[in-house]
Amino acid sequence: NPSKDCPPDVEELGRSTWTLLHSVAATYPDKPTQKQQENLSQFMNSFSNLYPCFHCAEDFREYMKKDKIKVTNRDEFGKWLCNAHNSVNVKLGKPKFDCNLWKERWKDGSKDGRCD
């Protein structure tokens, strides 16, 4: 468990990255313009080539070949991303996340008010 100001290991990098990606989904429009859809596709494509855990990135590119990215609206992208994250969870032996709860986790916060 290295000190906070050390370079990230694969786990810390992963947690930070999922936070960014799910937050992008949470703020993506319900009705994105053509340009916004292009931007998201290009961002995720670049991401899958640049992610600085190279074996992770390679597997993620393979995943994206089989399950084509959905950028048509917030919920479609959010669910696609949740499924993509679940495929990594399964690979690592972690439990699957219930994708019906992705917005509660990353956008609106828990219904019990503890995130308010």
Binding footprint of ligand FAD on the chain (CB under 6 A): 10-11, 14-15, 17-18, 22, 51, 55-56, 59-60, 82, 85-86, 88-89, 92, 94, 97, 102, 105
What are the helix and strand counts (H, E) for the chain?
5, 0
CA dist 99 and 85 (Å) reads 10
- The distance of closest approach from Cβ of residue 45 to ligand FAD in the complex, given in angstroms and rounded to an integer, is 13
Q: Which is nearer to ligand FAD, 33 or 54 (CB)?
A: 54
Closest alpha carbon to 47 in 34, 35, 36, 60: 60
Taking the complex as a whole, how short is the minimal distance between the CB of residue 32 and ligand FAD, in angstroms?
Answer: 20
